[in-house]
């Protein structure tokens, strides 16, 4: 356990010399927008350190390690962990290698959890008993500490095996490209304007209603960030849909919106009314006019078959090559938006799958 600034600084000196480390975090995110850091686990292959963020005041040494691109940070399904580490240290981790993604490229299945990949590669069955533990409670029990340590123990040996397998398959460069693609996607996803695409059941809305929903979603995201509460605690998705589609001339008319509490109407009514009025005045933008894909249903099915055949040939998960949303975006780009190829279909995917997909789209058209 690392519970002092001096111990953390000394450990960071060792981790810098190791050049490859495994990192994981434990956090709580039930009633807040931002995760509450509870523990940071780090291994250099020789030992495991459990850093207690509740006891540390100077994270500068850890920030330097995380920001150093020459130090490889092995993590598994790293999205939320990266957010926790950036929140704690103020540093954007660089040199990250996601063993979940590496496992997929090596042919071990799509989006395998850490325990599943450890079982697949190392033949070890890890206990799940402390998954729902109170990680903010102190002191941590011996089972909690063991569970947390085991979350990083196997990262380095798994990486060694996956590196050999990807080198043999010639896919190491593919992994690097995909890691960079996901890094950019995470950066874009954090912007309040991207909150719109997270709203469920929005596809059936008219362009005008889409415009209102987009404005409301951005407001909800910004407000949830400012108040540090989950967006669903502010307004649920179904309430946003109802607000986007109902006639709401002013704040006083919000009372009939199903699911909107009186308290929320009083607290946020004016802001909601301004969002709706502004969106209606400005009108729909390009993102608010979704393309009707029903005429292309047959083409989409052919595209999915191409993906499945390529995945079988390469012994890769088809989801790694392209999912339905990606295929729809490619189809729309080629047929409706002047032929620009989405970023995810460039790079390593271009020769592997994109050229065949484009041939199919042009032939169908």
Positions marked catalytic: 24, 26, 81, 147, 151
Q: Give the whole-angstrom CA distance, residue 210 versus residue 365.
A: 28
Give the DSSP letter of residue 2: B
Tokens of 284: 């729909």
Angle between helices 155-169 and 172-189 (to 10 degrees): 120
Under 8 Å CB-to-CB from 84, ≥6 apart: which residues?
25, 27, 35, 37, 40
Task: Compute the chain's Rg from CA coordinates.
Answer: 24
DSSP string, 231-262: HHHH--HHHHHHHHHS---SGGGGGGSTT--H
With contact defined as beta carbons under 8 Å apart, do 212 and 276 qualify?
yes
Under 8 Å CB-to-CB from 5, ≥6 apart: which residues?
56, 57, 58
With contact defined as beta carbons under 8 Å apart, do 106 and 169 qualify?
yes
With contact defined as beta carbons under 8 Å apart, do 335 and 361 qualify?
yes
Q: Give the whole-angstrom CA distance, residue 164 versus residue 101.
A: 15
């Amino acid at each position: 356990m690392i519970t002092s600034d001096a111990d953390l600084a000394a450990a960071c000196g060792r981790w810098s010399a190791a050049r490859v480390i495994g990192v994981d975090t434990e956090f709580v995110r039930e009633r807040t927008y931002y995760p509450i850091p509870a523990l940071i686990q780090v291994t250099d292959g020789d030992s495991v350190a459990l850093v207690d963020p509740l006891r540390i005041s100077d994270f500068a040494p850890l920030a330097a390690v995380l920001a150093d691109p020459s130090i490889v940070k092995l993590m598994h399904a790293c999205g939320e962990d990266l957010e926790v580490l950036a929140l704690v240290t103020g540093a954007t981790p660089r040199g990250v290698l996601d063993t979940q993604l590496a496992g997929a490229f090596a042919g071990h299945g799509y989006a395998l959890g850490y325990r599943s990949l450890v079982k697949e590669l190392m033949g070890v069955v890890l206990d799940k008993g402390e998954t729902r533990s109170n990680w903010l409670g102190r002191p941590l029990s011996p089972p909690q500490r063991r569970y947390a340590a085991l979350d990083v123990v196997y990262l380095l040996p798994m990486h060694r095996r996956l590196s050999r397998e990807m080198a043999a398959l010639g896919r190491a460069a593919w992994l690097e490209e995909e890691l960079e693609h996901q890094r950019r996607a995470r950066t874009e996803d954090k912007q309040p304007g991207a909150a719109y695409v997270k709203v469920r059941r929005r596809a059936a809305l008219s362009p005008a209603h889409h415009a209102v929903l987009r404005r409301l979603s951005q407001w909800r995201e910004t407000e949830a960030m400012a108040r540090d509460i989950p967006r669903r605690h502010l307004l649920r998705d179904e309430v946003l849909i109802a607000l986007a589609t109902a006639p709401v001339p002013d704040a006083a008319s919000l009372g009939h919106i199903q699911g909107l509490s009186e308290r929320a109407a009083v607290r946020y009514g004016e802001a909601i009314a301004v969002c709706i009025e502004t969106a209606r005045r400005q009108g729909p933008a390009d993102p608010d006019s979704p393309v009707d894909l029903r005429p292309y249903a047959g083409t989409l099915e052919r595209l999915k078959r191409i993906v499945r055949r390529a995945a079988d040939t390469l012994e890769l998960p088809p989801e790694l090559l392209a999912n339905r949303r990606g295929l729809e975006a490619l189809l729309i780009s080629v047929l409706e938006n002047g032929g620009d190829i989405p970023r995810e279909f460039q790079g390593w995917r271009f020769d592997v799958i994109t050229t065949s997909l484009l041939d199919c789209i042009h032939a169908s058209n």
